[in-house]
Chain A
Amino acid sequence: MNKKSRTRLLVATGVIVVVFVIGVVFLVQRQGAYYSQVSDLTAGKYDDKNVKVGGRVLDGTIARDAGGVHFTIEDLTGKSDTVKVTYAGQMPNTFDAGVDVVVVGKYASADGVITADQLQTKCPSKYKGQASPSAQPGQ
C-alpha cells in the first residue's frame, strides 16, 4: 500500500471511529438510567433524571386510563417509601399486585412520578418458568 492511500485510509477510519465512539458515549450518557432504590428517589438523589428502579407493586393501586397504567411501588430494602409509576406500554403477562418489577424511565420530582418506558417483572428469563415446579404444586 502506498503511503498516500495508507494515510487516507487511516484518516477515514479515524473519522468514522471517533464519530461513532462520541455518538455512543453521548447516547449512553443521555439515555442511561441509574439504578436506585425507591428510598433514594424520595430522598431527592435522582430528581428529574433517568432511573432504573426496582420495587414491589402495592395492592389496590393499579388503575388504568387513556394515559396508560398507573400504580405505586414500594421500596425493596425494607423502608416504607413509595413512588408512583405511569406506564403506557403493553403490560407483561406476569404483572400484578405484589409482584416485583423493574421500571426504567424519568423521575419527575415535582409530582413524584416515574414515567416509565420499560417495565419488566422480575425473573423475565425464558429459562425457569415463573415459579419452580415444587413451589406451585397443582395451583
Chain B
Amino acid sequence: MLGLGTFSLWAALFFALAGAVFLGLGMYWDRKDLLRNGYYAVYAFFLASVVAAAVLLQAFLKGDFSFSYVAENSDASLSVFYRIAGFWAGQQGSFLFWLLLLAIVAVVIALLDLSRLERLTGGAVMVLSIISAVFAALMVFDSGSSPFTRAEAGVQPFGLNPLLLHPAMVLHPPALFIGYVGLAVPFAYAVSTLLLGRGDKLWVQRAQKWGVAGWLFLTLGIGLGAWWAYVVLSFGGYWGWDPVENTSLVPWLTATALLHSFTLYKARGLFKHWALGLAAVTFFFTILATWTTRTGLISSVHAFEKNDLLIDILTTFLVVTVASSIGLIAWRWRRFESHEELQSLLSREFFYYVTNLLLTLFAVAVAFATVGVPLLAAGLSFNLFGVIPISLPGLSVFPDAVGIGAYDVVARPLGVVTVALIAICPLLAWRKTDGAALRHTLILPLVTMGLSAVLWLYLGFQSNILGFIGLLVCGFAFGAVIQFVLHAARRAAGPDKSLWSGMARAFSGSRTRTAAYFVHFGMVLVVAGLLGSNVYKIETSTIVKVKPGATASLNGYTLTYRTMDESTGGAQGSSSSVAYFDVTKDGKALGTLAPHTDVYPMSGAAVRAVILGRPFEDLFVVADEPFDSTSKTIALRTVIFPLIRWVWIGSILLCVGAAVSLWPRGGRKEQKVRVPEANADAGEAAPADGATA
C-alpha cells in the first residue's frame, strides 16, 4: 500500500506537469485541442491524487501502523471521527490533503470550462497545476514530507496529540486549507489575465466566487481555531498573537481587501492594480505560513542552517511567486489602468480605498512583526539545493521577537476604525444630497449608540475610556447597518409600499449586498466582542485548599470546593481528576463547574478549563497546574470574559454572509434586478461584497 501511495504521488506530479505544459501551450497558441488535452491531463492528476489520499485514508481507518505517519498520528483506540482527523494532524498528511484540494478545485474549473475552452481559464488551471506539481514534488522528493514512509519495526502508535481531540480541531485544519486553496484561484486567474494582457473584468467574474469561498473557509478556520484555543488550550484566552495564528490572519486580511477590490473592479473598473496585487499577496501569505512553521524560525532562536529539501523547494517557490507577480504586473501595468476618475475624497470609492489600504498595512505589519523581524534579526545561511549559497547576515538593530502588547496596540484602534468605516460608508451616499436627509439618516445610528451606551455603563465599561469610545462606535455602526438595510428595503418596496415586501426584495435582490449586511453586522459584533473580552477581561489566581467549603472569588462570583472525582477509561486510555465547585454570583446559585486534569499515558497530564456562559460574560475556570486526589491545594485561575460570545456569534454571521453571496440565484431574475442597480443605484450596490467595511 505504501508503494501504491508513492506511485500515485509520482503519477500526480507527472500529470500535473503534463497538464501545465499542454495548457500553457494551448493558451499561448490559442489552440483549443491543446487546452482540451491539458484538461484531460488534469483529470488524470485528479484521479492520481484521489488514489493517494484514499491509500492514506484506508490506512488510518484500518489502523495500518506500518505507515509511520499513521503510527505518529493515530492509534487503535480512536473513534472513526478522530482516525480521519489524523489525516491532517501532521505536516505530511496536510501536504497530501492540500494536494487533493488543489486537484478538486482544478478539476472542477476544468469541467466547467470544457464546453468553452477559453484561454483565460486554461491559463488559470495551468497555474493551479504548477502549484499542485510543487506540492507533489515536495512529497515525492523529500522523504521527510511524504506520508508514505515505512515505520520502523516495533514502533508503538503514538496516538493523536490529546490537545487535538476536539471537534473544532478536527475541522479547523481542513477549513484553513480549503480557505488557502480557494484563495489560490484568484491568484491563478490574475496570472492568467496578466499573461494574456486582458484588462477586462472576466477574470474577476471567474475568480470571485472562489475567492469568497476561500474567505468563508478561512474565516471559519480562524474562528474554530480561536474557539479551540479558548476551550481546549485553556491558557485563558482565545488569541495569543501566536505565529501560527498570525500567519492565518494575514491572508484573511488581504483576502478581505481583495474581495472589496473585486466589487469595485466589477462595478466601476476601479482598483484593478489593487485586485491583481492583492490576489498575489494573499497567495504568497498562504504559502508563507507553511514556510514559517517548517523553518522553525519562530520557535527556535538561531539562524536557519539546516539543509532541507523541503525548505529549498518552498523558498524557491516563494521567490518565484514574488518575482513573477511583480514582473507580470509591471509588464502589464498600463493595460489595467482605470478609466473612471476618483471625484472626491468624500466618495464611497475613497473609503473603499482607505479600507484596502488599512487592511493591507495591517497585514504587512503583522507579517513583518511575526516573520520579518525574527528573520532579519537571526539572518539566514543555507545552501539552496546544496548548491546556491544563500546568506543574509543577522541585523542587530532588529529585536528577536515582538511582544504581544505591540499587536494589541495596533489591532484595537484599527478594529474600531474598521467599524467606523462600516458605519460611515452607507451614510456617505447621502452626503451628496441635502443636509436634512443626512440628519434623518443619522437618527437611527445615534439612537442605537445611545442605547448601547446604557448597556456599556450597566456593564461597567466606563472604567476604560478608550474601550468605551470603541464600543460606542460599535453601537453607532450597529444602527448604521440597520439603516443601510432599511434604506435598501424602502427603495426596493413594491407598489404597496410595504416595508416587509421591500425587505424581502432587498434581501433576495443582490446577493452581494445581502451578504454585506450580514458580514458588516457580524464584523461589528466581532469587534465589540473583541474589545469587551480583551479590554475588560478580569482574572485572578487563587490557591484553594482541597477541603469542602474552601472558596475562591472574583468580582461577585464565589466558587466553593465540594468534592473530587477520579475516573479512568477516557479516550486513548486517559484518566481524569475532576474537582467540583459550586458557583454563586452575589449569593445566587448558578450551578457547578468541574475543572479537571486529564492524564494521557503517552503524553502526560493536561489541565482542562470549564466555562460558565452567561448572557454578557463568560466565567472561565481552570487549574494552573495539574492536580489529582493527592493534591493538598489547587491553584485555581478564574477569568471573566465580557461579551466573548459576540465574537462567536459575529463569526458565524461572517460565514453566513459569505455563504449567502455564494448561493446560486434564479437565472433570469438576476438580470432584472441587476440592471437598474448598476446605473441608478450604483453607489448603493458598491459596498456590497462579502467582507469588512
A16 in contact with B624 (CB, 8 Å): no
Residues facing B in A83-138 (CB within 8 A) are 88-94, 102, 104, 117-118, 120, 122-134, 136-138
B158 in contact with A30 (CB, 8 Å): no
B365 in contact with A20 (CB, 8 Å): yes
Contact of B299 among A31, A123, A130, A134 (CB under 8 A): A123
Contact of A89 among B71, B236, B350 (CB under 8 A): B236
B344 at the interface (CB under 8 A from A): yes
Contact of B235 among A50, A90, A94, A138 (CB under 8 A): A90
List 17 A–B pairs whose Cβ atoms lie within 8 Å, in order of A's numbering. Answer: A13-B357, A16-B357, A28-B373, A28-B398, A33-B399, A33-B403, A34-B399, A35-B301, A35-B401, A52-B401, A93-B163, A93-B604, A118-B404, A126-B161, A126-B164, A133-B72, A139-B602
Interface range for B: 35 or more
B79 at the interface (CB under 8 A from A): no
A51-75 near B? 1/0 per residue, CB < 8 Å: 0101000000000101011000000
With a cutoff of 8 Å between Cβ atoms, the chain A residues found around residue B400 in the complex are: 32-35, 52
Q: What separation, in Å, do the CA atoms of A121 and B602 have in the docked complex?
A: 18
Given contacts A1-B341, A27-B410, A90-B637, whether A52 and B622 have CB atoms under 8 Å apart is no
Interface range for A: 35 or more
A133 in contact with B156 (CB, 8 Å): yes
- Min C-beta distance of B44 to chain A, whole Å: 31
Contact of B603 among A29, A34, A129 (CB under 8 A): A129
A2 at the interface (CB under 8 A from B): yes
Q: What separation, in Å, do the CA atoms of A66 and B542 have in the docked complex?
A: 7
The residue in A6, A89, A120 that gathers the most chain B C-beta atoms within 10 A of its C-beta is A89
With a cutoff of 8 Å between Cβ atoms, the chain B residues found around residue A28 in the complex are: 368-369, 373, 398-399, 402, 406
B158 in contact with A129 (CB, 8 Å): yes
Residues facing A in B24-60 (CB within 8 A) are none
B161 in contact with A52 (CB, 8 Å): no
- Min C-beta distance of B132 to chain A, whole Å: 22
Q: Considering only CB atoms, which chain B residue lies closest to A68 in the complex?
A: B541
A43 at the interface (CB under 8 A from B): no
In the complex, besides A9-B345, A123-B299, 16 extra interface pairs with C-beta distance below 8 angstroms are: A16-B361, A27-B406, A28-B398, A29-B399, A32-B373, A32-B401, A33-B400, A34-B400, A50-B403, A89-B235, A117-B405, A126-B164, A127-B89, A130-B604, A134-B152, A137-B156
- Min C-beta distance of A27 to chain B, whole Å: 4
With a cutoff of 8 Å between Cβ atoms, the chain B residues found around residue A33 in the complex are: 399-403
Q: What separation, in Å, do the CA atoms of A110 and B156 have in the docked complex?
A: 51
Q: What separation, in Å, do the CA atoms of A129 and B604 have in the docked complex?
A: 11
B399 in contact with A32 (CB, 8 Å): yes
B235 in contact with A31 (CB, 8 Å): no
Q: What separation, in Å, do the CA atoms of A90 and B237 have in the docked complex?
A: 10
B676 at the interface (CB under 8 A from A): no
A93 in contact with B606 (CB, 8 Å): yes
B236 in contact with A90 (CB, 8 Å): yes
Contact of B403 among A6, A89, A118, A124 (CB under 8 A): A118
Residues facing A in B295-334 (CB within 8 A) are 296, 299, 301
Total cross-chain contacts (CB, 8 A): 155
Q: Considering only CB atoms, which chain A residue lies closest to B337 in the complex?
A: A1
A20 in contact with B301 (CB, 8 Å): no
B234 at the interface (CB under 8 A from A): yes
B342 at the interface (CB under 8 A from A): yes
The residue in B72, B157, B158, B343 that gathers the most chain A C-beta atoms within 10 A of its C-beta is B158
- Min C-beta distance of A31 to chain B, whole Å: 4
- Min C-beta distance of B571 to chain A, whole Å: 15
Q: What separation, in Å, do the CA atoms of A62 and B369 have in the docked complex?
A: 32
With a cutoff of 8 Å between Cβ atoms, the chain A residues found around residue B296 in the complex are: 125
Given contacts A9-B353, A136-B602, A139-B601, whether A50 and B341 have CB atoms under 8 Å apart is no
A120 in contact with B353 (CB, 8 Å): no
With a cutoff of 8 Å between Cβ atoms, the chain B residues found around residue A50 in the complex are: 399, 403
Contact of A138 among B156, B403, B541 (CB under 8 A): B156
With a cutoff of 8 Å between Cβ atoms, the chain A residues found around residue B624 in the complex are: 64, 69, 90-91
A24 in contact with B365 (CB, 8 Å): yes
With a cutoff of 8 Å between Cβ atoms, the chain A residues found around residue B293 in the complex are: 125, 127
Q: Considering only CB atoms, which chain B residue lies closest to A36 in the complex?
A: B400
Residues facing B in A1-40 (CB within 8 A) are 1-2, 5-6, 8-9, 12-13, 16-17, 20, 23-24, 27-35
Q: Considering only CB atoms, which chain A residue lies closest to B540 in the complex?
A: A66
Q: Which 3 A-B pairs have the closest CB atoms?
A: A32-B399, A35-B400, A31-B406
B345 in contact with A31 (CB, 8 Å): no
Q: Considering only CB atoms, which chain B residue lies closest to A94 in the complex?
A: B604
Residues facing A in B636-654 (CB within 8 A) are 637
With a cutoff of 8 Å between Cβ atoms, the chain A residues found around residue B405 in the complex are: 31, 117
Q: What separation, in Å, do the CA atoms of A126 and B90 have in the docked complex?
A: 8
With a cutoff of 8 Å between Cβ atoms, the chain B residues found around residue A89 in the complex are: 235-236
Q: Considering only CB atoms, which chain A residue lies closest to B161 in the complex?
A: A129
Residues facing A in B352-404 (CB within 8 A) are 353-354, 357-358, 361, 365, 368-369, 373, 377-378, 398-404
A24 in contact with B410 (CB, 8 Å): yes
- Min C-beta distance of A61 to chain B, whole Å: 15
A133 in contact with B625 (CB, 8 Å): no
Contact of A134 among B155, B361, B402, B602 (CB under 8 A): B155
- Min C-beta distance of B290 to chain A, whole Å: 11
Given contacts A9-B345, A129-B161, A137-B156, whether A30 and B350 have CB atoms under 8 Å apart is no
